[in-house]
Structure formats: structure tokens, C-alpha cells
Structure 1
Amino acid sequence: MLLFTSYNEPYLFAISFILLIGLLEVISLLCGHLLSGALDAHLEHYDALSEGNIGQVLHYLNIGRLPALVALCLLAGYFGLFGILAQHGWVTFWQTPLNNGLLAPVSLVCAVVAAHYTGNAVAPWLPRDETTAITEDDYIGCMAIITGHAGKSGSPCEGKLVDKFGQSHYLLLEPEEGKEFNKGDKVLIVCRLSATRYLAELNPWPDVL
């Protein structure tokens, strides 16, 4: 089998891409960073990538369930493997290579399908980093305990919220017009009034929560 020939160039390039990514990942790790993590974080800032045809393609390749670089390496690896094996088989039986203008698209389609099913099988076994950070809007709908003195509309008091990660957050909470909070009251955060203040109401389910 003649591997390093001109008709195998597109597929050898795909294999070389995987080796290059591996090398860059090692270098970035030595520098205290993860290239795959940086790419995933960068992609999360582009909402357009999760919509339309592009979003469907990324979803099919399991990007989001898999680190983006892992998904791309699966795609490149299968593309290179299918192309090289197809050329080898064709040359073995017919003594002439296939036209890459025809083979490359077929190999790409096969690679996308193979990468999809491999990603589905691999994703549950890959460790995923989970953040314990929540945004201010995540406080809405949570229960809090009034820790400050009495609060009323226009005059908020301090409340303590413990999130699902066990972290404590101290917020300024105030009730609706005509109502009042006292220290120790359990309240439900209803909405955000400003950058620092939230509207809350007394626990509507005292027998449950």
C-alpha cells in the first residue's frame, strides 16, 4: 500500500490535523491552559452557532455534549480513514486511484455519520467540567431567609439565599406595596427590580417549604 501518494493528500492532511491538535493541546496544557476548554468557552458566546442549519450540524456532531476539538478530531479521523481505505481498495482491484472530487464528499458524509454515532457512545463516559457559578437572574424563583431587620416597599432588607451548589448569597429584598418582611421570614424571590434589589413575597407554601 502506497500511503504517501498524491491521491491520499486530503486524507493525510486530515490525519495531520489530529496530530497537530494533539501537539497544541499538550503545549497549552504545559502552559497551564486547555485548548479544548478555551474553544468551548469561545463558542458559547455565539448564540448564532446554536441556531439554523449551523446549529443542527453542530448538534449532530455532538458539539456541546463533547468538547469541540474531540468532535472535530473524530470527524477528521474518520474522513482520513475512509478516504485512505477507499483509495487503497480501489487501487488494489483496479490499479488506478479514485477521483477525489467524487470520493472526498462521500468520505465526508460517511465521516459525519460515523462521528455522530461515535460521539453518542463516547459522550457519557467523558468527564465534564461543571460550573458552580449562577447569574443574578437565577435567583428568581428561589426561596430566601430574611436576615436583616424589617423591610418594606422602597426600603429593602437583607436576605440570605442558598443555591443548589450550597453557596450562600446575600441580597436586598423588598415586599410588595403595603406588606412587610421581618427577620426570619421565608420569602420567594419574584423578580429583579434593579442591579441590587429584588422583589419578593412571603412564602406562599408554608406547609410545604
Structure 2
Amino acid sequence: MDLFSDYNSPYLFAISLVLFIGLAEVISLICGNFLSGAIDAHIDHGDFFSTGHVGQFFHYLNIGKIPALVVLCLIAGFVGLFGLFFQHLCVQYLQAPLSNWLVTPLCLLLSGFCTHYTGRLLAPWLPRDETSAITEDEYIGCMALITGPGASAQRPCEARLTDKFGQAHYLLVEPEEGKQLKRGDKVLIICRLSATRYLAEINPWPTVL
């Protein structure tokens, strides 16, 4: 297999993107900025990225637990490696490469799964402001502040929870059927609905907490 053949172009580009992001991060640090931190700040406070299916997708990719640029590098790196590997197998055993219209979607799908699990392994080694000082199961019974535009059943939004160590955690919450949550509400986390979503209710003790 010729590594620089046209059919390998998308995967070489993906690997080059990883190198470019790394170079950009180094340059930003030299200039006194933190590129990934700036991007994370926009994502953390962006309603579009923290609600509905988009928010669940971002949480699945561990955005909020590890820097967004690290997630992008993982996806691009996996796409590049999977693409080169699959095309190599095809050329070796089928004597011809497959269409990238078939290979690339498969690589993206596999990369999403790999990024999810790799991100969870990397999270303890990549501390950031929202790094967990408590486990996600310990969110239950804690108070959180609704920072998203609002939530209803099956339509979660972002909430910020500050733990006993003073660390901020961002999670997706939704109320029971027929109830609504709005920005600025202080809510009690009742239970975990899925890997990314929690059931919450309006603070039942407003005069106390």
C-alpha cells in the first residue's frame, strides 16, 4: 500500500490535524494563552452545547471532563489510524481500496466509541476546573443551579453543581413529567436517569438551602 495514495488523503489529513492542534496549543502557551481553556469556556457556557441531544452527545464524548481539543485530537487520531488500517487491509487482501464514502463513516463511528472510553481513562490525568472531586453518583442529593435556558421531561438542560471541595461540575438535568425548570432555579438532584442525565426538582427547602 502506498501511504500517500489519494484514497488515504482523508486519514492523513486527520492525523495532520492532530499535529496542527498540538502546534497551535504550544504556540498559544508561549504567547501566554491557553487555547483549549478558552474553547472549553465557550462550550461550558453555550446553551446549544449543553441541552438536548447535542448536550448528551458532548457528554458522551467526555467534553466537560477533558478539554475539548483533546477530544478533537482523539477523534481525528482514531479516524486517521482506523482509515489507514482498513485501507491497508483492503489493498492487501482485495487488491483495491474501498470507497472512502464507506470507510470514513465507519471510522467516525468507531472513533466515537474509542474516544468515549479513552477519554474516561485520560480524565484523571487531565485535571481542569470541572475535574471531578466527587464521583458522578455522589451528585445525587446535591443542589445545583440551572444555567441552561430551561428544561422539561425528556428535554434536559445544563446545571452547575458546586461540590464540598468548591469544584464546579456541569451536568444535564430534567424534571418529572409535567414540570418545568428555568434558568436560575436551584434544584435538588434526585436520581441518575442515564450516563449523562439526572432527574431534578425545585429546591424543596428554599428557606434553608
Question: Please, what is the CA RMSD of the aligned residues?
Answer: 2.3
1:115 is aligned with what amino acid? T
State the distance in 1 between where 2:68 and 2:35 align.
Answer: 10
Which one scores higher on RCO, CA 8 angstroms, separation ≥ 6? Answer: 2
1:103-133 Cα deviation digits (max 9, x unpaired): 11011100000111101111122222369xx
Partner residue of 1:98? 98
Task: Tell me the TM-score normalised to structure 1 length.
Answer: 0.61
> Map of 1:114-133 to 2, 5 A cutoff?
114-129=114-129
Tell me the SS of whatever aligns to 2:49: helix
Alignment partner of 1:60 is 2:67: no
Q: Which segments of 5 or more consecutive residues in structure 1 lack a partner in the other structure?
A: 132-137, 139-162, 166-203, 205-209
1:34 is aligned with what amino acid? F
Tell me the SS of whatever aligns to 2:33: coil
State the distance in 2 between where 1:18 and 1:62 align.
Answer: 18
> Map of 1:10-25 to 2, 5 A cutoff?
10-25=10-25
1:2-27 Cα deviation digits (max 9, x unpaired): 11110011111111111110110011
1:121 is aligned with what amino acid? L
Cα 1:130/1:79, change in 2 over 3 Å: closer
State the distance in 1 between where 2:9 and 2:60 align.
Answer: 27
Tell me the SS of whatever aligns to 2:66: coil
Tell me the SS of whatever aligns to 2:3: coil
Identity over aligned pairs, percent = 57
Cα 1:130/1:111, change in 2 over 3 Å: closer
Cα shift at 1:164: 6.8
